[in-house]
């Protein structure tokens, strides 16, 4: 009985680690597309092409992301914003965006 539970827990942990690995691949693809956008101006098209490709759909699925058209549009919007993933995921950037949103609400009121 306990062997089954231990085996299931270990299998779940491995699945979580694999999902994080594929999520890192998605973040790297976003950073590459942002770099392409700054250099060549075609970043959103590049990430859309990748996300719609067979490999891109497979990576998104393995990362736990449903590879539908709404996701592709979101990836394109993210790349068009030009904020690198390391900055976008940082606490400082999150706090800065919240402060900007609060200032916009106060200004609108």
Q: Is 102 inside a domain boundary? A: no
The pair of structure tokens assigned to 105 is 């609400």
Give the pLDDT confidence score for residue 78 in this predicted structure: 95
Q: Is 97 inside a domain boundary? A: no
Give the pLDDT confidence score for residue 93 in this predicted structure: 74
Helix (H) or strand (E) holding 94: helix 91-108
- Do 65 and 26 contact (CB within 8 A), yes or no? yes
Q: Structural domain of residue 50, as residue ranges? A: 2-83
Overall number of domains in the chain: 1
pTM reported for the whole predicted model: 0.77
pLDDT tens-digit profile of 60-94? 999 999 999 999 999 999 999 998 998 888 888 77
Q: Is 73 inside a domain boundary? A: yes
Query: Does residue 6 register a pLDDT over 80?
Result: no
Give the pLDDT confidence score for residue 7 in this predicted structure: 65
Give the pLDDT confidence score for residue 56 in this predicted structure: 97
| 6 or 59, which is more confident | 59
Q: What is the DSSP string of 4-64?
A: HHHHHHHHHHHHHHHHHHHHHHHHHHHHHHHHHHHHTS-HHHHHHHHHHSHHHHHHHHHTT
Mean pLDDT of the chain: 90
Q: Rounded mean pLDDT of 41-47?
A: 96
What is the percent of the chain where pLDDT is above 70? 92
Q: Is 65 inside a domain boundary? A: yes
Q: Is 34 inside a domain boundary? A: yes
Query: Does residue 36 register a pLDDT over 70?
Result: yes
């Amino acid at each position: 009985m306990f062997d089954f539970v231990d085996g299931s827990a270990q299998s779940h942990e491995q699945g979580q680690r694999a999902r994080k690995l594929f999520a890192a691949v998605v973040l790297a693809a976003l950073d590459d597309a942002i770099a392409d956008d700054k250099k060549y101006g075609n970043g959103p098209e590049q990430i859309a092409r990748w996300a719609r490709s067979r490999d891109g759909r497979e990576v998104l699925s393995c990362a736990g992301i449903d590879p539908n058209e709404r996701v592709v549009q979101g990836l394109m919007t993210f790349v068009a914003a030009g904020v690198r993933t390391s900055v976008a995921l940082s606490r400082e950037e999150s706090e800065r965006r919240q402060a900007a949103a609060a200032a916009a609400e106060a200004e609108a009121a």
